[in-house]
Amino acid sequence: MVSAGYAPAGQSDFYPRLLQGKAVLKITVIADEPTEGFLDDLRALLAKHAAHVEVDTAWNPDRISRYYLALPPRSQRILEEAVARGGYVSADDLRGDDPDASLKGHSGGLTRILNLGIRKGWWPDGIEPPVQAHGPGFGKVVGYGIRTEQLDLFRDTVLTLPTQRLNFLAEEIAHRDDPWDDELVRDALTIFKLAIDLDGARVLLRHLVETGLLAKNAAGFYRRTTDTADQD
């Protein structure tokens, strides 16, 4: 099934508008389980009109979620660690307690799933890889980073998915009556070698409020929803 239509701006992804005196038509194609033939035809159509078509190659929450959840566990860890640590994770941090541990193959899934998504039409060809390897070259990698302009969006999306940090924090909150704030979240996770910066800690707290596990009281602390706000 392919959906298409027109509506005024703000009501749908399909609408005509004027840009610099020229008519601009914004079109979103939604296809349920598209076949390879359909995708090939769509790519051919876009290529034919490439001079007049601007493809949306930006990451958005839906694309990020699909990307992260499709990654193998070791590649998921690289992405989670990078967004939780402020946009960069070193190779040494990924090795943990074993400085001689090999990271060979850990990052392969990042590229493999990116290319799989292009083939399946999850995102367009030309979308930028979200994770960049850092190093002196010659295959040596010293760390992985998220582009600065994409960090907030990736942090806000990835950390609300079933990551190690979210699962661990939810478990801790379920068994502790303590009030929480961003610094306490950071310290609790760091003790268990799940480093996170304060921005990431605030994302986790906001998400757990949205899920109903936490409520923010007048003092600015977060408590389990079974606790009363005046216990502080």
3-state secondary structure the chain: CEECCCCCECCECCEEEEECCEEEEECCCEECCCCHHHHHHHHHHHHHCHHHCCCCCCCCHHHHHHHHHHCCHHHHHHHHHHHHCCCEEEHHHHHCCCCCCCCCCCCHHHHHHHHHHHHHCCCCCCCCCCEEEECCECCECCEEEECHHHHHHHHHHHCCCCCHHHHHHHHHHHHCCCCECHHHHHHHHHHCCCCCCHHHHHHHHHHHHHCCCEEECCCCCEEECCCCHHHC
The CA distance from 98 to 84, in Å, is 21
Per-residue pLDDT at 153: 98
Contact 118, 124 (CB under 8 A): yes
Amino acid at 100: D
Q: Do domains 61-157 and 159-231 have the same CATH topology?
A: yes
End-to-end distance of the chain based on CA atoms, in angstroms? 54
Close Cβ partners of 30 (under 8 Å, ≥ 6 residues apart): 1, 2, 3
The CATH architecture to which 61-157 belongs is Orthogonal Bundle (1.10)
The CA distance from 55 to 46, in Å, is 8
Per-residue pLDDT at 3: 36
Domain locations in the chain?
2-52, 61-157, 159-231
Whole-model pTM: value is 0.77
The CA distance from 150 to 75, in Å, is 18
Angle at 17 between CA 11 and CA 20, to 5 degrees: 145
Give which of 81, 95, 193, 181 is closest to 131, Cα–Cα: 81
Give which of 75, 74, 201, 54 is closest to 130, Cα–Cα: 75
How many Cβ atoms sit within 10 Å of the Cβ of residue 15? 16
Quote the tokens at residue 111. Answer: 């590229």
pLDDT in tens, the chain (232 residues): 333 333 333 333 333 444 445 666 666 666 667 777 877 787 777 667 666 667 788 999 999 999 999 999 999 999 999 999 999 999 999 998 787 787 887 899 999 999 999 999 899 888 999 999 998 866 689 999 999 999 999 999 999 999 999 999 999 998 888 899 999 999 999 999 999 999 999 999 999 999 999 999 988 899 998 643 444 4
Per-residue pLDDT at 13: 37
Contact 90, 101 (CB under 8 A): no
**Topology at the third CATH level for domain 159-231:** Arc Repressor Mutant, subunit A (1.10.10)
